[in-house]
Amino acid sequence: MGHRITTQNRGRGGPTYRAPSHRYKAELKHIGDGTNDITGSIIDIEHDPARNAPIALVKLEDGQKVYMLVTEGIGIGEPVAWGTDVAVKNGNTLPLINIPTGSFICNIESRPNDGGKFVRSSGVQAVVVDKIGERVGVRMPSGKTKWFNARCRATIGIVAGGGRVEKPFVKAGNKSHKMRNTASNWPRVRGVAMNVIDHPFGGGGHQHTGRPKTIARGTSPGRTVGHVAARRTGKSRK
């Protein structure tokens, strides 16, 4: 019997494919419920194995310490705040309805008080582009405009760590250490380079798939490789 292909093995689960969350420092959620203003000051900038952007350790007024996502230009000793009546400045977190159109924002909530879900990667930002009633339009890093509930909160500024992708890995060891901190499939071996028992595309006198690459989504796990549930195939003729 052949080996399980990668998609089968990942679907089964296990330590090999599980994100190393035991090494992560914090979830980096917006604190509070948005009704009360909370202030604090940054006491340290740290590295988090869970992400490529730096994180900040913030000491609140009541002495509690929390982590937050760092925006560009924020340093140790600077004040930050969460709430509805706080100043619209770099590092502060407000509801989208209170953020002026044209502002750069990050760490946007998907639903009110879920803590922040969108635009959290290093060097990215979104832009508030429109407000209609209880909805706020935000241009995402992809260029698409997404509409949010006006009570969803976001942080003013651009996520720190921009330019990360411009630095080359140089050697395989650096790439290996990076990928160990994620649940990514790496290194990724091409199916056509495998033996016939290891992958549907494997085997043959030369490297070729030997069968259609467009596969239905309901196909058995051992065959679900290639262009799964492709909406169209062939050369694009505009």
The total domain count for the chain is: 1
Residue 107 forms part of a structural domain: yes
Better-scored residue on pLDDT, 44 or 222: 44
Identify the band that residue 2 occupies on the pLDDT scale cut at 50, 70 and 90. low
Q: Which residues of 178-200 are buried (b: 16+ CB within 10 A; e: fewer)?
A: eeebeeeeeeeeebbebeeebbb
Residue 187 forms part of a structural domain: no
Better-scored residue on pLDDT, 154 or 184: 154
Provide the CATH number for the domain around residue 40.
2.30.30.30
pLDDT recorded at residue 33 = 82
Residue 190 forms part of a structural domain: no
Q: What pLDDT digit, counting tens, does each position of 88-107 carry? A: 999 999 999 999 999 999 99
Closest CA relative to residue 108, chosen from 19, 78, 97: 97
Residue 68 forms part of a structural domain: yes
Residue 38 forms part of a structural domain: yes
**Cβ 54 vs Cβ 163: under 8 Å:** no
Residue 230 forms part of a structural domain: no
Predicted model pTM: 0.81
Percent of the chain with pLDDT strictly greater than 90: 71
pLDDT recorded at residue 1 = 56
Query: Which amino acid, one-letter code, is at 213?
Result: K
Residue 41 forms part of a structural domain: yes
Cα–Cα dist 95/52, whole Å: 26
Percent of the chain with pLDDT strictly greater than 70: 99
Residue 211 forms part of a structural domain: no
Give the range among 117-131, 139-153, 176-190 with minimum mean pLDDT.
Answer: 176-190
Taking 90 as the threshold, does the pLDDT of residue 203 lie above it? yes
Q: What pLDDT digit, counting tens, does each position of 35-76 carry? A: 789 999 999 999 998 888 999 999 999 999 999 999 999 999
Q: What pLDDT digit, counting tens, does each position of 169-199 carry? A: 999 999 998 888 888 888 889 999 999 989 9
Domain span holding position 67: 21-162
